[in-house]
Amino acid sequence: MAPFDESELNASQKFQSDFQVGRSKSLNFYPSDLKREIKTKNNKVMSFIDIANSAVKNNTIINTIKDKVEEINQMYVNSECNKETIRIMKNRAKNAKSVIEEFIRNDEIFKQKEYRVTLLRLEDVLTKIKEYCEKVSKFGSYKQFFNANEIKNKYNQLTEEYETCIR
């Protein structure tokens, strides 16, 4: 490789040439750093790649949860009956969304596997709540659940599952 005068290169050309030879003087970053293990705040050893993969997986789940909360909110707006029941479920879903937003701010917790499992469970519970709201929000579907005890039992079951996830 022929030597070059760094003073003649602009910043982007310098970065490109540094990156091609496997170094970046301007950023003090080497591609091998991606595989280097680091110690996190909770003394867990992870590589940058592991941290990035964890963040991407959790972000996908969080976006799915946020979408489900918005769908439940829209069901409340469009509901033909049982507005009070759907409003309660909508408020619980919104509370879950605010808990998740607070959860995101704490990086240590966000990277732990146990919390990823909890997020998956919460996603499942919100899916069940959404399905329940779909069934009881329309008059035609409501006829299937005309028995008040069945509606109450399903509501109680979903409430318990939700409370378990949020704890």
3-state helix/strand/coil string of the chain: CCCCCHHHCCHHHHHHHHHHCCCECCCCECHHHHCCEEECCCCCEEEHHHHHHHHHHHHHHHHHHHHHHHHHHHHHHHCCCCHHHHHHHHHHHHHHHHHHHHHHHCHHHHCCHHHHHHHHHHHHHHHHHHHHHHHHHCHHHHHHHCCHHHHHHHHHHHHHHHHHHHC
- What residue segments make up the domains of the chain, in order of their start? 12-39, 49-166
Q: Which of 114, 110, 131, 113 is nearest to 68 (CA)?
A: 131
Q: Judging by DSSP bridges, how do beta strands 37-39 and 45-47 pair with one another? A: antiparallel
Sign of CA dihedral 80, 83, 85, 86: positive
**Cβ neighbours, 10 Å, residue 141:** 13
The pLDDT tens digits for 112-135 are 777 778 888 888 899 999 998 888
Compute the CA torsion angle 139, 141, 147, 151 (nearest 10 deg).
-100
> What is the C-alpha separation between 87 and 75, in angstroms, rounded?
9
How confident is the model at residue 17, as a pLDDT? 45
pTM of the model: 0.57
How confident is the model at residue 4, as a pLDDT? 44
How confident is the model at residue 8, as a pLDDT? 44
How confident is the model at residue 56, as a pLDDT? 60
How confident is the model at residue 44, as a pLDDT? 54
How confident is the model at residue 137, as a pLDDT? 83
Q: What number does CATH give the domain 49-166?
A: 1.20.5
How confident is the model at residue 62, as a pLDDT? 80
Which structure tokens are listed for 30? 């080497």
Per-residue pLDDT of the chain (167 residues; tens, 9 = 90+): 444 444 444 444 444 444 444 444 444 444 444 444 545 555 555 555 565 556 566 677 788 888 999 999 999 998 888 888 899 999 999 988 887 777 777 766 666 777 778 888 888 899 999 998 888 887 765 555 556 677 778 888 888 888 888 77
